[in-house]
Structure 1
Amino acid sequence: MPPGPLRYGGRWPASSAPPLLISDPGPGRDIREAPDAVGVVAQIRQGKGTWVCWQGDCRAYGWDPDAGTLTRYTTDHNATSYLLQYGVEPEIAERYSSRLHIALADATPATVHQTLVPAGHLVILTSDGVHDQVDPLVMEVLVRENQHTPQNLAEALVAAAQPDEKGYRDDATALVLAPARPDPGVLR
């Protein structure tokens, strides 16, 4: 373990970083007051698919243009997902959908999940304001109709997010990544 307190922005060996990041909320902050956020990032790799890393309840979907199917590639890191996994009734588990099981503030190399969306698939990244407030069938129709125009698809997904029965509408974010097209002048 390095001497002294953890300094943000410094570099420490990876083997010592996770326990320090979990145990040190920063100067003058209580661990219970840590920020609560989620995040998803993606990296398109020419001909090798798209790597997606996420923390929290944001999602990544892939659209297979050949099969015409939308596949969810991530799992939510919230209490609802955890409870459903262990057999709790959906009506009870849904009460805890806003409680994150793992938040971005708690992220360590060991807790950030990753997945690979196959090469050639359209990648759709969404916040819970989209996927919790847009019916999955509506989402699939929007993807099918807008698969060739990523900007239009992102705008359509955000516009489709409607308030729930209590009038609440979460912030809605969608990012659409078109698959990399092979460069005919590049030898592989």
Structure 2
Amino acid sequence: MKRLFPVLFLLFSGWMLSQLKIDSISHNRGNMETSIYPALLVGYHFSGDAKDNTETWKAGQMHTVELAYAKVFKYGGHHGGSKVYYVGSDFSLSNKYDFFVAPKIGINVGAGFMFGTELQFQTNFEQFVPRIMPYFGIGGWGGKFYIGYNFRLAKAESLPTNTGHIGITWPIIKVKKG
């Protein structure tokens, strides 16, 4: 009897706690399909470390609005995830600098915890600075709350470098097919 208890415990635990297609606790209940749909992403970002080596931290704060078109791949299953390709632009306002536009392309992947990268082309229509920003955060299915760090790929003397970056992005329009 003493040897039977561990075997029964393991079998019962596997039966009750397994995440199989017939799992009755899961809200997905075996929905293993992949959905692919376009979405319009809107976001707000804050950069508090725009350095040009002449001003204080407060003078370099940047507030950015993001608009992007995305292709969202939503993977089903008990621990589903997503992959998002997007193209769009950031529109930045700062306390010291005038209006900036940063067309960008990017990708992120995740299932709760997500990570990604984007390539931005920041310009004030006089100078141009390409930047790459890896980031990580939480989110999925097009939405994200993240922290990133911008790396310059070229030098422009009068454009600020907003290195520290925190943001939130959410899909406001999802066009689901089917």
TM-score grouping bracket, smaller chain normalisation: under 0.3
Instruction: Name the one with the larger strand percent.
Output: 2
Q: Could you say which structure has the higher helix fraction?
A: 1
Larger Rg over CA atoms: 2
TM-score w.r.t. the length of structure 1 is: 0.23
